[in-house]
Amino acid sequence: MTAPAVERWFEFMNSGDAEVLDDLLAEDVRFYSPAVHRPKQGRAVVTGFLMAAEHLFAGTDFRYVAQWVQSDSAVLEFAVELDGMQIEGVDIVHWNADHRITSFKVMVRPLRGLQTVSTRMAETLEDMRPAGPPPAHGQ
């Protein structure tokens, strides 16, 4: 049996539905990226990273190939081909008593795969960034 938090995570990854993700994340959730030293914290910030990941992998062969689930955590092994490279990794997920994710850690291999994912994530985050106000006249 899969934990409710894991089921909802799979629902989000299959649908890209921001409301599912918003309902799934705890207010103080932390995101640990394999490419960034310090964790990102807070629902709004983490939502941006996870939405970008879903957008990046949508339309690829991204799939979860194994899972190990306990009462308040799971390790979800994934595989994807990106830019002609086979990439593997794990999502390490913890949740609270309300089945809201409190911690989301990603590990990716090989190193070249991590570099590819990091570059593509940065591009996706930039593409998803809302346009700021136009510059003031004369700037």
What are the pLDDT digits (tens) for 83-102?
A: 999 999 999 999 999 999 99
For the chain, domain boundaries: 4-128
CATH fold of the domain at 4-128: Nuclear Transport Factor 2; Chain: A, (3.10.450)
Pairing of strands 85-95, 25-32: unpaired
Q: How far is CA 72 from CA 4, 50, 94, in A?
A: 10, 20, 6
Residue 15 has pLDDT above 90, yes or no: yes
pLDDT at 24 over 70: yes
